[in-house]
Each structure stands twice: as structure tokens, then as C-alpha cells.
Amino acid sequence: MEESKTNLALNFFQEIINNIPLAICVKTYPEFSIKYANYTFESFVRKRTDELIGKKDFEIFSPDVAKVMQNFDSKVVSEKKSMKFSINNPFGNNPNLVVEVQKTPLYSKSNNEVEYIIDYYQNITQQTSADKILRETELLYKKIFENLPLGIVLIRADDYTIIDVNTNFLNTFELEFDKVMYKPVYELPFCFEKERIATYFNIARELDCSQVLEKTYTLPSGRVVSVLFSIFFVKFLENEPWYVLVANDISALEEANQEILAHIKKEQELNRLKNRFVSMISHELKTPLTAISLSVDILQKFGDKIDVKEKERNFEQINNSIKAIANLLENVSRLEKLTDSDFPLNFIQLSFKDILIKICKEIELAHNVQNRINIQFTVEDEFPIFSDEVLLEIILTNLLNNAVKFSFQEAKINIIVSKTNGNIQVSIQNFGEPIPPNEINHVFTPFYRGSNSKKAKGYGIGLSLVKKALELLGGSIEITSSSEEGTIVKITIPKEIKSPKPA
């Protein structure tokens, strides 16, 4: 009876060993031939037990792997201790397979010498792949973190200690990395108003919303910078919460803003334009920066857990957000350049007809509005013009983009091109929600967006670019808008200009 119970226990134990998800084989010493292999090992090497018993490594594995296994067997015997290592493609037929091997000596009770070597095999391909993806994600995060045109500081929420900072932030404030890291954020030179800064942090945390403030700071070199700060509170699950402090050096934009304000000072709109400028920039940057911050944080913390589609969605979100920031900054940069009285002009002989047709095709393709733009030329020629091609493209692209964006769905856009007193006149008509009469005089103001533009994306820069480009070419623009006639934009461009009109 006792023997029966013992055999039953042994059989039960062997059944457990055979079916555990860890591949096991036992080799004899000094022959190094297989004495026992469990079912998991059989499925691992795709051979039955009767084909494995008595076999040696070189009869199972690829030659290179067999040599590695033999070397480790010898070390296990000589050093009398377990060893662990990983091997790639052990059978020579799957380059992606990664296996972790642990060899453990089993000693004879009679002489305490190695009698058997137990090999444990575990497929770690998925873990290795996940580790690789995580490393790549971390590298991508670091690359984005370092190359964003914004200064970024990560702050531990519990004690306000700086735990990471990018180069752009250090350069903006002329700081050194080792003098900033692991210091309280209140020791930064621009945080001298500790109570005020603490209020912004607390509001960001308690209300779970970003806080924005603007400060002007004099650097040690004497240079004065204007910086737009955004503060975010970030917390996922039980992980350590952070504050993210984003610093955007808007000094160049402030200079451009001051130039604009100087030109409209007579109309007493200085304060209104500045507020709109700062509000628009901060509002437009806040959304993509929040998206970047959240996506990067998800990839950093959960890169080894989320699936491929979720990773791709986060990478796409980062990419789209960066493009949105770049697009806004590019338009602001264009406006600044056109405002510069030294803007270089390149006048060459062109076909206005060819340029207009090319841009219309590009607009139709970009907005997927094929066959909705009708062009009528009042005379059959190329409408030759001696002008600047870049400025012409800025004018036509912005006007046609607006015509499509602000049209009702499926509504036609009509373009009539004619000659008037040695000039080229273009009339662009679209049908959509009309511009209120009291707003038409303001649509050329930078960053102004009328009440009819709420449903269309934009920054309110396009028409100010158009007007400035037309001034440089000696042209003009006129807009009328009504429910019956639609919105009609008429521009006049000289066919030839030898002395560009000063800005």
C-alpha cells in the first residue's frame, strides 16, 4: 500500500513536471547525453521523447549553438554552480527566436560530484521584442524631448524637485545642467515670486487644467527675453505625479508684435492686438503640447504593455501635434518677414494663367473638392506678368484656401480673371456664411477671426499675409459679402512693376 502511494505521488509529480510551461531536459555527466525531457521540451524542439533520449546537443541544436551549450556544460561542471544565458535562433530556422537557458548541476549523493545537468529553457522572444520597443520608445522620447523648439522641465509634484530638463530650456535661460538638476524649481532665477508660482502649480493640480503665464526676464548676459510658461499636472495610475513646465521664448514674436503695434497705434488698437496675439499663440500651442506630453508619457510608462496600434496612434498624435506647431510658427514667421522693409523681391516674367491653374489643382486635391473651382479668363492669352512668383503664390493660395474653407458643402467657387488699365484683376466668389459688414474692415488684422469662421480651422494670419504681399507688389484688395451674392474678393495686381512699392 505504501509503495502504491509512493508510485502514485511520483507519477503525479512527473505529470506536473511534464506539463509545466518551462522546457526541461536532464543530461548525464560526463556523456552530456539527454536522460529525460518533459513534454514542454518536446514541443519546444519539435521531437518526441524517444527521439531525444541519448542524444547530444550537436544532434539537436545548430552547430554554433551546440558549441555554446557544450562550453557552458563544461563551466557548470568545473565551477559547480548554475549559469544562465540567452541564445538566438537555437535551431537555425527562426532568426527571431530568443531563448533563455539556465543550467544547474545535480550532485551524486555518494561522492558529491556532478552526476547530471538540468537545463531549463524559456522562450523570451516576446519579452526581448518588448524590451527593444521600450528602448526605442525611450530614445524617441529623448529625441523629441531634446529637439522640441521649447524649453521643458519635469518636476516631481511631491517636493517640486526638477528631475529632467532639456537643452532648449537651459539655453533659453543661460543655465547649466548640473546646477539645475535635482534642485527645487523655486531656485530657478525667474521663480523669485514663490507664492505666485506656487498658486499656478496648485491650480493646475487641483483643477486638472493647464496654467499659462508670461514673464520678461533679464539674463546674466544682459539679454532680455519674453517667455510664455505653461504648467501641466500629469499623473497616471499609481505612478509618481509630475508637473510639466513648458517655456516658449516668444522674444522674436514679441518684437514682431511691437512692430505691428507701432503701425496701428493711430487706430488705438495696441492693447487689443497684443492680447489677441498672446492669447492665440498660447491657445494654439497648448493643445498640441498637451497631446505630445500625454502621448510621450504613455509611451514611456506603458510602452511594453500597449499593443502596436495603440503605439502607432500615439506616435501619429505626436507627429500631427508637431506639424500643427510648425505650421503656426511658419505662418507667424512669414508675416514677420513680409513686414520687414528689406524683404527681398525677385521679379521675373511669368504666366499668371499657368500659376493660377496650378494652384487651383493643388487646392482641389488638398481639400478633396475636385470640379468645384470654375475659372473664367475674359481673353484668350497667358496673362503675362512681370512679378514675384513667391508672393503671387502666397496671395492666391491663401485666398483660394479661404474660399474653399468658408464655402457651403458642394458650393462652387467662381474665379474671373480680366485685364483692367494695364493690371490683372481677379475676382474670387464663394458661397458660405457671409462676413458681417462691421467685421470686413478687421479681417486683414493679424490673428483676427470673424464670427463666421468658428467652424473652420485657422490662425487669422492668411488675409494679413495676402494684403502685405499685395502692398509689396503695388496691388490692392477689396471684399464684399452678402447672403445673395456670396463673398467676393477682388484683387488687382500690376502686370509689370519696376520699382516695388515700399513696405
Task: Give the pLDDT confidence score for residue 500 in this predicted structure.
Answer: 47
Do the domains 347-494 and 129-339 match in fold?
no
- Enter the CATH code of domain 129-339: 3.30.450.20
Task: Give the pLDDT confidence score for residue 490 in this predicted structure.
Answer: 94
Closest CA to 385 of 370, 396, 374, 397: 396
Question: E-assigned strands of 421-467?
Answer: 423-430
CB hemisphere CA count around 227 (13 angstroms): 26
Return d(Cα 446, Cα 333) in angstroms, integer. 12
This prediction has a pTM of: 0.39
Task: Give the pLDDT confidence score for residue 189 in this predicted structure.
Answer: 76
CB pairs under 8 A, 24+ apart, for 206-214? 208/233, 210/286, 210/290, 212/282, 212/286, 214/250, 214/278
Task: Give the pLDDT confidence score for residue 143 in this predicted structure.
Answer: 77
Identity of residue 286: K
> Domains of the chain: which residue ranges?
2-123, 129-339, 347-494
Cell numbers standing for residue 61: 541544436
Cell numbers standing for residue 41: 521540451
Task: Give the pLDDT confidence score for residue 450 in this predicted structure.
Answer: 61
Give every residue of the chain whose pLDDT is below 70, as ranges.
1-10, 93, 128-130, 192, 236-239, 254, 261-288, 323-324, 327-343, 446-460, 497-503
From 3.40.1360.10, 3.55.40.20, 3.40.50.980, 3.30.565.10, which CATH number describes the 347-494 domain? 3.30.565.10
Identity of residue 24: I
Host H or E run for residue 365? helix 352-367
Q: State the helix-helix crossing angle for 389-405 and 462-473, rounded to 10 degrees.
A: 150
Identity of residue 117: I
CATH class as words, domain 2-123: alpha beta
